[in-house]
Amino acid sequence: MTSPTLADAVRALDGFYPPQTAAGWDRVGLVTGDLQQTVSRIHFAVDPTLWVITEARELGADLLVTHHPLLLRGVHSVATTTAKGAAITTLVVADVALYCAHTNADVADPGVNDALATACGLSATDPLDEEDGQPIGRVGDLPSPTTLGAFCRALADALPAAPAGLRVSGDPEASVRRVAVQGGAGDDRFDAVRRSGADVYVTADLRHHPALEAREEARGGAPYLIDAGHWATESLWLTGAADRLRTALVAQGYDVQTTVSRLRTDPWDFVVPTGHGEPTDRPKEHDAL
């Protein structure tokens, strides 16, 4: 059996994640490489960091597929004086092609949000919201109600280890059944979450003001919030995507190997607990309001 060309691999990926389904501001598809080059090993990762590129090169990969674009903002230089330029230069010199599937992988079925929904224990889901005709996030019901605390422990077991863990807003004893998910940054979708009737929203990159305002609107009740980490929530997709691509290329008669990065590209390396002695207060019940 022969190896596919980069053109073969790109054609298969474009089929799974059609570029025209990406958001208007997004930049997806091929970033480096020549369509005629042969591809015998394909590596998958969330972020095209310098360490991930080194990992790909050392593994002998010809193609690196990442979720996040390397050049979301256009560049006017690839000199090695910037990290982006060093990444491009390393890829080009090492003959490693880079392909990015970002918001087109978010909206795909199966895609990034399906992998996250599965990790939450959801089997059937609906879109959480819609934008430019594409489904954004997912919402669905657990097989049976549980507590927020138990739901979090189960989700934590399904996610890769990261120092920051899950940050949760809500009463661990509260009952939850309807779950909304949005991999990556989700603090611009609270209106859709409220409309969906979700009891809990699993997403990441939640900042103080949007999160606190969402909690105020909820008057302390549902929907509760879980910040499960940008990298962690999106890394769940990698293995399935790699399998799907290899299967498709093998079905076309090609010989190709796929690997998934073992590097954590979440920026946080460790956590330190704060405060000593008496904790600050947080009311459990808001019935006076």
In the region spanning residues 30 to 69, those forming contacts with a second copy, defined by CB under 8 A, are: 30-35, 47, 49-51, 54, 68-69
Size of site (CB under 8 A) for a second copy:
102
8-state DSSP, 268 = -
Task: Please report whether residue 260 would count as binding a second copy according to CB under 8 A.
Answer: no
β partners of residue 41: 257
Identity of the residue, 231 or 237, whose beta carbon is nearer to a second copy in the bound complex: 231
Task: Please report whether residue 24 would count as binding a second copy according to CB under 8 A.
Answer: no
Task: Please report whether residue 286 would count as binding a second copy according to CB under 8 A.
Answer: yes
Shortest CB 42 distance to a second copy, Å: 16
| Cα–Cα distance measured from residue 53 to residue 34, given in angstroms and rounded to the nearest whole number | 17
Asked if residue 32 lies in contact with residue 96, where contact means CB atoms within 8 angstroms, the answer is: yes
Q: Which residue shows structure tokens 């509260």?
A: 174
Shortest CB 81 distance to a second copy, Å: 6
Q: Residue 120: which of 166, 160, 148, 151 has the closest Cα? A: 151
DSSP string, 135-151: EEEEEEEEEEEEEHHHH
Instruction: Please state the φ and ψ torsions of residue 44, each to the nearest 5 degrees.
Output: -120, 140
Instruction: Please state the φ and ψ torsions of residue 57, each to the nearest 5 degrees.
Output: -65, -45
Among 67, 189, 227, 249, interactor with a second copy by CB under 8 A: 227
Task: Please report whether residue 208 would count as binding a second copy according to CB under 8 A.
Answer: yes
Cα atoms in the Cβ-side hemisphere of radius 13 Å centred on 251: 7
Looking at residue 194, its amino acid is: R
Residue window 163-202: x/- pattern of binding to a second copy, with contact defined by CB under 8 A: xxxxxxxxxx-----------xx-----------------
Shortest CB 30 distance to a second copy, Å: 4
Cα(first)–Cα(last) distance of the chain, in Å? Answer: 70
Shortest CB 43 distance to a second copy, Å: 14
| Cα–Cα distance measured from residue 39 to residue 23, given in angstroms and rounded to the nearest whole number | 28
Residue window 73-112: x/- pattern of binding to a second copy, with contact defined by CB under 8 A: xxxxxxxxxxxx-xxxx--xx---x---------------
User: CB 147: neighbour CB atoms within 10 A?
Assistant: 15
Q: Which stretch binds a second copy (CB under 8 A): 110-118, 195-203, 223-231, 240-248?
A: 223-231
Among 126, 132, 191, 216, interactor with a second copy by CB under 8 A: 216
| Cα–Cα distance measured from residue 91 to residue 15, given in angstroms and rounded to the nearest whole number | 24
Residue window 108-147: x/- pattern of binding to a second copy, with contact defined by CB under 8 A: ----------------------------------------
Task: Please report whether residue 27 would count as binding a second copy according to CB under 8 A.
Answer: yes
Shortest CB 129 distance to a second copy, Å: 19
